[in-house]
């Protein structure tokens, strides 16, 4: 059995606690009260309840730590070096349509670097977790990124911009470029799970723009601890600020990055 540190145990326990109400609500998805937060971007009572649970459980375990949360924003604690970065329900649109593909994402940033991450997919009870220097795991099994090196044999994931987003032309250029050389592209609607699946070798690469820190915080450390590479599409290392991410196994980062950048140049 993989050894979990006290920190990971705290994160796993908080995710499991928050997931219980999520699963009950998912079973009665048609009865949820839903408010509209923006174009094609919904937030449910389940979302808010899960975030409140995570905040309570993590504060109980680490009372001085700060928070950055999707629904509640920034909560500054007396310890600003340690920041919990939380998405209580990544894949809200899937959840509200009865699609069983969503996750809870908890990342811990220490002194501006991602230290630990947990992504929990409760429908299938898949707990992805990693701590810097300790490797990445799915439940009790060690995971690594895939070993594929040929673009034509590789499966990639991305996110499709929805109504109100401005980057539709950029996305279409990226998609056309990757479609033309790869085994396929998937869009499942949860960036956190895309990164978790990449870490487990289910995908060979993932790219997206317009993301928020809570979409990728946990996934960054999990992919890196699984042996993957994570940067912006430009190759820079400010994903949390720019919202641009390119994550792959250790063999495809350069060719996929070049392909995406070349496609972007053609529409500039």
Q: How many residues does the chain have?
A: 268
How many whole angstroms separate alpha carbon 218 and alpha carbon 234?
21
| pLDDT grade for 40, boundaries at 50, 70 and 90 | very low
Distance CA 234, CA 242 (A): 10
Report CA dihedral (91, 145, 218, 28) to the nearest 10 degrees: 30
Average pLDDT score over residue span 90-99: 89
The distance of Cα 108 from the centroid of its chain, to the nearest Å, equals 13
Q: What is the mean pLDDT of the chain?
A: 92
pLDDT digits (tens, 9 = 90+) for 239-259: 999 999 999 999 999 999 999
CATH of 151-267, one of 3.30.499.10, 3.60.15.10, 3.50.50.60, 3.40.190.80: 3.40.190.80
Its sign, for the CA torsion 191, 126, 230, 113, is positive
Residue-range domain boundaries for the chain: 6-143, 151-267
CATH of domain 6-143: 3.30.540.10
Q: CA–CA separation, 56 vs 155, rounded Å?
A: 39
Residue 39: per-residue pLDDT: 44
**How far apart, in whole angstroms, are the C-alpha atoms of residue 127 and residue 104?**
10
pLDDT of residue 195: 98
- The three-point CA angle 104-193-230 to 5° equals 115
Q: Rounded to an integer, what distance in angstroms lies between the CA atom of residue 105 and that of residue 90?
A: 7
Count of beta carbons in the 10 Å neighbourhood of residue 155: 17
Q: Which residues are registered as beta bridge partners of 143? A: 136
Domains 6-143 and 151-267 are alike in CATH topology: no
User: Using CA atoms, how far apart are residues 179 and 194, in angstroms rounded to an integer?
Assistant: 17
**pLDDT digits over 167-185, tens only?**
788 889 899 999 999 999 9
Strand 136-138 to 141-143 pairing: antiparallel
**Cβ pair 54, 15 in contact under 8 A:** yes
Per-residue burial over 90-119, b = 16 or more CB atoms within 10 Å of its CB, e = otherwise = bbbebbbeebeebbbbbbbbeeeebbbbbb
């Amino acid at each position: 059995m993989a050894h979990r540190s006290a920190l990971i145990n705290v994160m796993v326990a908080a995710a499991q606690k928050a997931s219980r109400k999520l699963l009950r609500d998912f079973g009665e998805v048609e009865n949820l009260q839903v408010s509209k937060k923006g174009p094609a971007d919904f937030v449910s009572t389940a979302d808010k309840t899960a975030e409140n649970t995570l905040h309570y459980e993590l504060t109980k375990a680490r009372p001085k730590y700060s928070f950055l949360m999707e629904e509640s924003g920034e909560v500054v604690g007396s310890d600003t070096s340690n920041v919990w970065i939380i998405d209580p329900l990544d894949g809200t649109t899937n959840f509200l349509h009865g699609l069983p593909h969503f996750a809870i994402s908890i990342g811990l940033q220490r002194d501006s670097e991602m230290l630990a991450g947990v992504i929990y997919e409760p429908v299938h009870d898949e707990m992805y977790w990693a701590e810097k220097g300790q490797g990445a795991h799915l439940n009790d099994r060690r995971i690594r990124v895939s070993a594929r090196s040929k673009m034509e044999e590789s499966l990639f994931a991305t996110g499709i911009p929805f109504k109100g987003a401005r980057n539709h032309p950029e996305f279409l250029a990226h998609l056309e470029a990757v479609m033309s050389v790869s085994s396929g592209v998937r869009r499942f609607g949860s960036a956190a799970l895309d990164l978790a699946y990449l870490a487990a070798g289910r995908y060979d690469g993932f790219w997206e723009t317009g993301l928020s820190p809570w979409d990728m915080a946990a996934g960054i450390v999990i992919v890196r601890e699984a042996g993957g590479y994570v940067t912006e599409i430009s190759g820079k290392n400010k994903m949390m600020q720019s919202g641009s991410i390119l994550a792959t196994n250790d063999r495809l980062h350069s060719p996929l990055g070049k392909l995406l950048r070349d496609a972007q140049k053609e529409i500039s």
